[in-house]
Amino acid sequence: MGNFYRDNDDIQFLFRHLDLAPIAAYAEEGFKYAGRFDTAPKDAQEAITNYDMVLDALGQLSADFIAPRSESIDREGCTLNPDGTVSYPKGIAESLNALAKADVMGFTLPHRFGGLNFPNLIYSIAIEIVSRADASLMNIFGLQGIADTINFFADEDIKQQYLPSFASGKVTGAMVLTEPDAGSDLQAVKLRAFQDDDGNWYLHGVKRFITNGCGEVLLVLARSEPDRSGGLGLSLFVCDRGPTVKVRRLEDKLGIHGSPTCELYFDNTPCRLIGERQRGLVTYVMSLMNGARIGIAAQSMGIAEAAWRIARDYAASREQFGGPIEKLPAVRDMVIDMKMRIEAGRALLYETSRVVDFEVGLNKIAENPDSDPAVAKEAKQSLRKIKRLAAMLTPMSKYYCSEMCNTVTYDAIQVLGGSGYMRDYASERLARDARITTIYEGTTQLQIVAAVRGVCGGTVEKYLEELAAHEYAESVKDLLAILAEGTQTLKECIAFVKEQGVDYMDLVGRPLVDIAIALINGYLFCDQASSKVAFETATAESGDAATPKKVPMAQRKLMMARRYIIRNAAQIRGLADLIKSGDKSTFREYEVLAGAVPELG
């Protein structure tokens, strides 16, 4: 029997290394639900034990039940039936049923609706595990943010109508945002929301590229104010899938074939308003998308982990030139870098999820009318800083993890050579599945635009100062000095960019964000290398023995930190030279350098 949770030493180590007690206390609101609900823990230790047990069960389900169905799911795909309904591949339907029976379809929903009430960090681990088994299944399992949005912003009767069904797995949902002429620019949404004489709301228009658009519960962004253009004319609505919602087509896609991507037509569909009018995009959808972006980062982690494992196994077993190809320096370097990128992505994702859990917890205290006034005031003050940090780390995680995922799956095929290009191995499917991660829920370019505001606005400098002030082991002192030097370089780059204007900031946004991420991950690696958690990991076989050698994880993390920080130090210097070059040929000479628009066809 396999287990995608227990067989991952890095996840196991981080679960023990990260301080889960504070986020458990925030999630359980001081454990006030103990005794009122069967699933509510009485203290942090019981909560953490529950997290471990659920992840263990999910890891086994993913390895033994979900993963074996992934190849047939990819080949079968989804079907649009003549009556306008959509059929999932057999394996997706079976896996969704298994997840519902495992009671994990309400991962972050409150106990009172039948949910587990787990923190975002634990949900990110769960998404990674499921995505390693089948990335397309995650696109349905990972849409639990729809239920969270209803829980955060909807009226109580709407919550009661929908949330128990989400938690039990009886329904799935869809984020219905994109339109033919409103992709990344959601302010251009045109789908019309209107009221009849009795005040009932209806939807009319077309949506496109809707993941799981055949779901039973649809959250729809629509223009409720016909006289207002832009985001302030938009509101958020919930409706049921019914006879007035038509799936007009399924997209024929490169990857994630088990996840239906639909074009929808709303023909005067009855719906209900979520929250307040005109806050649909600015407040509700941005919250929904931030959660979805963390979900895509976790999905990227799972895909990359699966690809690396195939490459690592192949490199050790494929014999060429008198030995396994992992003896070749070029292959060896590639395999190590794949692993290093994965662990860096996981560190950044889990830190982001932890920060978001603090944001959610502090927000509950700040908005609770029963909170002690002094406690609420302190929470509001802390919340301002945490919100800025979460707003920066979320796009950073989505950017880094999705780009890393594409790099790792590309390199995995390279390690396998011709075999990786064939369907004999899952490598080619993983590469196809990876490609969408840099596109949906906001492209890489949009993530950089969002993240660079935090880099140039002072958020990253304050965060790096906090990271630098942590207590670290003596063994990483030389690495901390390198990171301090890199931080000074980043400050110089930021000062230079500010003198050049906003356009230049966007132009060099990627190298700026890359430097910031390299420094953040460097500190996170140093923190892991300083860990006092007694956890060992298996390394390569030693000598002639057939048993793997064991080393303390902190010792291994020190080696990883050293490689990561030293190699990135050189890249930081190069990126800084690029940023401070002041090259604006992109603006001045675009038409000449890009050439004439070609005729296609």
pLDDT at 371: 85
Q: How far is CA 502 from CA 354, 393, 445, 506, 512, in A?
A: 31, 20, 15, 6, 13
What is the mean pLDDT of each successive set of 10 residues along the chain, which is 601 residues long?
Answer: 95 97 96 94 98 98 98 97 93 97 96 97 98 97 93 96 96 94 87 96 96 96 93 95 95 97 96 95 90 97 98 94 93 97 98 97 90 89 94 98 98 97 97 97 95 96 97 97 98 97 96 98 98 85 59 95 98 97 95 94 80
The class that CATH gives domain 9-170+281-437 is: mainly alpha
Residue 280 tokens read as: 């649909």
Instruction: Look at the pTM and tell me if it is higher than 0.85.
Output: yes
pLDDT, position 1: 80
CA dihedral 364, 369, 372, 378 (to 10 degrees): 50
User: Residues 523, 468: contact at Cβ < 8 Å?
Assistant: yes
CATH architecture of 173-280: Beta Barrel (2.40)
Q: Supply the pLDDT for residue 525.
A: 98
The pLDDT of residue 541: 56
Q: Phi first, then psi: give them for residue 598, nearest 5 degrees.
A: -75, 155
Q: CATH assignment of 443-592? A: 1.20.120.470
Burial of 536: CB neighbours in 10 Å, binned 0-12, 13-18, 19+: middle
Separation between Cα atoms, residue 207 and residue 205, nearest integer Å: 7
Q: What is the pLDDT of residue 544?
A: 44
Residue spans per domain, the chain = 9-170+281-437, 173-280, 443-592
What sign does the CA torsion over 364, 301, 516, 440 have? negative
Give pLDDT, residue 345: 98
Rg (CA), the chain: 24
